[in-house]
Structure 1
Amino acid sequence: MESKTNKVKNSAKFISENSKHVKINLEKIQNCSTFLLSFLKEKKLDISNWHNHPLHPSESNEKTLDWIFLVDTLNFAFWSNFIVKYKENQYSGYSALLAAINRAIDNTIPITQPEFLSKITLLDVEKIFHSESEQILLIDKRCEFMNQLGQVVLKKFNGKFINVVRNAQNDAEKLLDLIIENFPSFRDESVYKNQPVFFYKRAQILVADIWGCFEGKGIGKLDGIDNLTMFPDYRVPQCLNYLGIIEYSDELMDLLKKEDCFIEQNSEYEIEIRGNSVWGVELLKNETLKLIEKDPNLQNYHLNSVLIDFFLYDYAKKHHKEMQHIPIHKTKTWFY
C-alpha cells in the first residue's frame, strides 16, 4: 500500500509535469542549493530552531504536545487582518493564533484539554480568539474542528493526545496515518486532471512540530521523518517564487496582483501552486543532499524537507519587505 508521503510526492510530480500556470526553474534549484547549504553551515536549518519562536512553549512535555495538537488543528487561513494583543505586544497571522491560545491558557481556560474541546461552543471560540481588528477567518470551522479533536481523542485515545503518538510507535508514517484516518479535518485531498491528488499539509506539519519540539527524542523520535514533504500553504510558495524556484504565468501573476483576488479552492491555479511548491522543495532537497555528500565536513549535517520548509517560512517572514511585490494566493480553505 502506498504511503501517505509517497502519495503527496507522486501527486506533486504529476501536477508539476502537467502544469499550465506554474513551472519549476531547474537552473534556480541548482543556485538555491548552494544558497541553502550556506545557511545549513550556519545552523539555520537545525531541529533546535523550533523553540526559537517567541510564542512556542519553552518546555518539551505532554502539555506542549497537547498544545501542538490544538495549534495544528487550527493552523489555517491567516491572510486576513487578524491582530491579537498579548503581553503588551501585537501579533498577526499564525503568531496571532498562538498568542490567543497562550492568552487563554494564561487565563486558566483549559483550551488544550479534550474534555473542554469536545464541548466548546462558537461563543467560547469567539471570546478566546477576540482580536484588536478583524475576527479570525472561518471561525465556525475552527469550532467544529476543536469539537472533533476533543471528541475523537476522548472516544478513541482514552482522552490523551499522547496516546495518538504512542500508537504510532515512533513511526512518522504511522502517526501521519493515524491523524488522517481519525481526524477528518486533516484530509487535505483534491482532484487534478481527473486524478486524485494529496497534500496533507496540516497533518504533516503536526508530525513535524512534534519531531521539532522534542528534537527527535523520546516521544518525538519519529523514524521516517525524512519522508515528509514541505507543507504547501501560501507563504512558502511566495518565498519559492521570490527565489525563482517556481514561476507563475503572466495570467496567474496578473490575477494574484488584483486587489481582493481569491483563488478558488481546488482550482487549477491553487493545485498547481501547491503541487509545484512540494515538488520544487523535493528537487531542492535532493540537489542540496548531493552537495552535502561531496563535502566530508558536512557528513554530520541533517537535511530534510521539514527543515527546508521551516527555514523558508522563517526566511519569508524575515524578508517580507523584499517580497512585498510577490503576491500570496488567498484561498478560503481550512487545509492551510
Structure 2
Amino acid sequence: MLQVALTPMESGEWISQRSGAVRVDIPRCHQLARQIMDSIQDGTIGDIEYKASPLHPEGLSDEQHLNWVFVIDTLNFSFWPNDNEEYYVDYRGNREVGYLAMCAAFMKAYEGDIPICDAGWMETVTEEDLGKILVSGSGHAIPMLHQRARALNESGKWLKDRYNGQMMGVVRACGTSAQSLLRTILTIESFRDQTSFRGANVWLLNRAQVLVADVYSVLKGSSTQEFRYLVNYIDIDTITMFADYRVPQALCHLGIMHYSPQLRLRLDNGEVMPFADDMEIEIRGCSIYAVNEIFKAVIRMRLNDYMGVNWYTAHRPIFAIDIHAWLLQYRREHAQAVDAAVPFHRCRQIYY
C-alpha cells in the first residue's frame, strides 16, 4: 500500500497554519456548528445523503450499485464551464448541471442498456463513445473528456484484474475500515490527489474520499445483513470533507474563510490557477481544516445537549462528510448569492 505522508486531516491543519492567502475564522466555525445542529435536530440534514438523489438507478443489487458509484466517482471532477459553455443535461423534465448532469447522462445510458456497471465496459470504452454519453445538451463536450476516458479505462482494468470486476470485492478485502478502503483506492493513479506544501507531502484525496463516503452510504442502506456489517466503519469519522471548488465558495459566503486581496483579485479576474499553486493548495487545505473545526464543535455540542440522554440514538450520527454535504446543498440553494459574493477558484485538474 502507498504511504501517506500527511493524511487529509493532518494536511488541512498543516496548510492552515502556514497559509498566507486564506484565513479560517474559528469563532464563525462554532456559530455554524449550531446551525448544523439545528439541521440534525429537524432532520433536514438527512435529506442530502447520496442515496436521496433521484439521479442514481433504482433496482440495482448492492454489488451493481457499488460498481455504479465507482464509475461516477472515477469521473467526478472539473465540471465548471469553458467560455460560458455550461455543462448541462435535460432529463425527466429537469435541466441538471455539473456533477448532476453527468449522473443524468449516465442514467440515460443505463436506461438505454449500456452496461455502465460492467468493469469490462469501463476498461474498453473509447473516448468517442464516452463523449457521446456525456455530451452536453448544448452539443459541447464535457470538460476534460480525454482525461475522463483515460481514468475510466484505468479504473475498469484495476477492478477487473484485481477484484474480478466487482467493487464489492474491494469492500470485502478492506473489512470494516474506511481508512483501509481509502488506501486501497489510492493504488489507482487517478485518485492520488497529492502535492507538496511548505516542505511537507500533503494528501487532499478529494475523489478517493468521495468514493469511500458513497460506499458507506450505499451499504448502510442495504437490506442484507452482511452488507450492513461491512459498512460498520469504526473510523468513518477520519474521512474529511472533500476539497473541491464549490464548498470553499460556501465557506467564504458564510464567513468561515477569508481570502487575501491578492487571492481575491485572481478569482475576480477568472484566472485559471495551476494545480499545486500555493493559493490553490491553501483554499483546499483550509477548507478541510475549517470543516473539521465545525465537526469538532458539533460533537462537543451533542455531548452537552444530550448529557444524560442516549445521544447516539436521539438523532442520526454526524460526520465531516455530512457537513460537506450540508455546505454543498447550501451552495446549490443559494447559488446566485454565493456566486455574486465570491467566485469559485478555477483549476483544471482530474482530482476535483
TM-score computed with the length of structure 2 as normaliser: 0.90
For residue 336 of structure 2, give the secondary structure of its aligned residue in structure 1.
coil
| 1:109-152 Cα shifts (integer Å, max 9, x gaps) | 11221111111111111111122223111100110011111111
Q: CA deviation at 1:6?
A: 6.1
Code of the aligned partner of 2:296: N
* More displaced stretch, 48-57 vs 201-210: 48-57
**Residue among 136, 141, 157 paired with 1:135:** 141
| 1:212-244 Cα shifts (integer Å, max 9, x gaps) | 122362443333111100000011111111111
Q: CA deviation at 1:25?
A: 0.6
| 1:267-300 Cα shifts (integer Å, max 9, x gaps) | 0111000000000011111111111100125712
For residue 323 of structure 1, give the secondary structure of its aligned residue in structure 2.
helix
Give me the whole-angstrom Cα distance separating, in 1, the residues matched to 2:70 and 2:5: 20
- In the other structure, the counterpart of 2:225 is none
Code of the aligned partner of 1:299: W
Is 1:37 the counterpart of 2:37? The answer is: yes
- In the other structure, the counterpart of 2:311 is 299
For residue 196 of structure 2, give the secondary structure of its aligned residue in structure 1.
strand
**Residue among 332, 335, 338 paired with 1:323:** 338
- In the other structure, the counterpart of 1:174 is 180
Code of the aligned partner of 1:154: K
Unaligned runs of 5+ in 1: none
Structural mapping, 1:1-336, within 5 Å: 7-46=7-46, 49-58=49-58, 61-80=62-81, 81-133=86-138, 134-181=140-187, 183-215=188-220, 217-258=228-269, 260-296=270-306, 299-300=311-312, 301=315, 302-325=317-340, 326-336=342-352
Given that residues 44 and 311 in structure 1 are in contact (C-alpha distance below 8 angstroms), is that contact kept between their aligned partners in structure 2? no
**CA spacing shift, 1:314–1:228, aligned 2, 3 Å:** same
Give me the whole-angstrom Cα distance separating, in 2, the residues matched to 1:31 and 1:2: 38
Aligned residues: 334
For residue 279 of structure 1, give the secondary structure of its aligned residue in structure 2.
helix
Code of the aligned partner of 1:22: V
Unaligned runs of 5+ in 2: 222-227
Give me the whole-angstrom Cα distance separating, in 2, the residues matched to 1:141 and 1:55: 23
Give me the whole-angstrom Cα distance separating, in 1, the residues matched to 2:321 and 2:235: 12
For residue 85 of structure 1, give the secondary structure of its aligned residue in structure 2.
strand
TM-score computed with the length of structure 1 as normaliser: 0.94
- Root mean square deviation of aligned Cα: 2.0
Q: CA deviation at 1:168?
A: 0.7
Given that residues 15 and 192 in structure 1 are in contact (C-alpha distance below 8 angstroms), is that contact kept between their aligned partners in structure 2? yes
Give me the whole-angstrom Cα distance separating, in 2, the residues matched to 1:310 and 1:285: 12
For residue 232 of structure 1, give the secondary structure of its aligned residue in structure 2.
coil
Give me the whole-angstrom Cα distance separating, in 2, the residues matched to 1:2 and 1:101: 32
Q: CA deviation at 1:18?
A: 0.5
For residue 176 of structure 1, give the secondary structure of its aligned residue in structure 2.
helix
Code of the aligned partner of 1:79: W
Given that residues 48 and 212 in structure 1 are in contact (C-alpha distance below 8 angstroms), is that contact kept between their aligned partners in structure 2? no
Q: CA deviation at 1:12?
A: 1.0
Q: CA deviation at 1:310?
A: 1.2
Give me the whole-angstrom Cα distance separating, in 2, the residues matched to 1:214 and 1:42: 24
**CA spacing shift, 1:4–1:195, aligned 2, 3 Å:** closer
Q: CA deviation at 1:204?
A: 0.5
Give me the whole-angstrom Cα distance separating, in 2, the residues matched to 1:27 and 1:281: 13
- In the other structure, the counterpart of 2:224 is none
| 1:170-229 Cα shifts (integer Å, max 9, x gaps) | 211111111002x11100000112321110110101010111122362443333111100
For residue 258 of structure 2, give the secondary structure of its aligned residue in structure 1.
strand
Code of the aligned partner of 1:333: Q
Q: CA deviation at 1:47?
A: 8.0
Given that residues 88 and 97 in structure 2 are in contact (C-alpha distance below 8 angstroms), is that contact kept between their aligned partners in structure 1? yes
* More displaced stretch, 162-171 vs 5-14: 5-14
For residue 191 of structure 1, give the secondary structure of its aligned residue in structure 2.
strand
